[in-house]
Amino acid sequence: MTEVFEDAVPARRPAEDLLAQEYTAALIQVLCGRASWVRGADVLEIGPGPGVVLAAMGALGAASLCGVDIERAAASASQALLHELGYGDRARVYHGDMWQPVLGRRFDLIATNLPQYPVAHGRMIGRAASWSAAGPTGRDRLDPFLRALPEYLAPGGRAVITHSGFIDLERSRWMIEQSGLEFRIALTALVHIAPAKFDLMAETVLRAEESRSIYRYGPYAFAKMHIVEIGSHESLG
């Protein structure tokens, strides 16, 4: 069932499980560097969490802001933040599952920072349940997003997404190129993996990726993450 949030009471402090993370910061960094893509665009974010990426796109001049989050608290928090920052008149956030609330619509720019952490069992304390929804390969949410993405891009539209380095970047590239679009890495960085999070990583992924996209130094672990741009050759420039 889809629920829409258009007016929300601003919340001064986000819930602990909605705090922004390094992936969010990197996504905003790339969007700021592509401000011309955002300005005047109808934008969508799948999984906005606290709403800060939508807020950044509002600040960059997006014509309309749309978000869809499977967590009701996140959808409410996103709308509240956009309302507080003065973007409420051009924003609509839905509580629903991925593409379902926006069936049949197309957008100039689509962003997402989907759950991609490969969890074989259990869940991360202090995080929403959906954080652990990526499955043991980390692709349970990403693959449905990539398969449907071309249907939701307007002509000349683009997507900017986060992509963990340890969940088979080349598979994602292949999926996108099958639709005739290009898949381009805009930024790569190492991010710290907290011990409590690292302990949940699926062992099959850890064995395959250690020293390739995952690096451990004593009790400290780091992993590659990418910001990826998707679109036609002409739209990416």
- The fourth-level CATH superfamily of domain 3-192+224-236 is Vaccinia Virus protein VP39 (3.40.50.150)
pLDDT at 224: 97
pLDDT at 197: 87
CA atoms within 13 A on the CB side of 71: 21
User: Residue 28's closest CA among 2, 54, 63?
Assistant: 54
pLDDT at 12: 45
pLDDT, one tens digit per residue, over 44-73 is 999 999 999 999 999 999 999 999 999 999
Distance in angstroms (rounded) separating the CA atoms of residues 231 and 182: 5
The average pLDDT across 166-177 equals 97
User: Residue 149's closest CA among 207, 106, 206, 97?
Assistant: 106
Q: Is the pLDDT of residue 26 over 60?
A: yes
The helix (H) or strand (E) run that includes residue 80 is helix 72-84
pLDDT, one tens digit per residue, over 128-139 is 666 667 889 999
pLDDT at 211: 93
Q: Is the pLDDT of residue 21 over 50?
A: yes
Distances (CA, A) of 161 to 86, 102, 142, 149: 25, 18, 10, 11
pLDDT, one tens digit per residue, over 108-161 is 999 999 999 998 776 665 566 666 678 899 999 999 999 999 999 999 999 999
Q: Is the pLDDT of residue 82 over 80?
A: yes
Distance in angstroms (rounded) separating the CA atoms of residues 122 and 106: 36
pLDDT at 10: 47
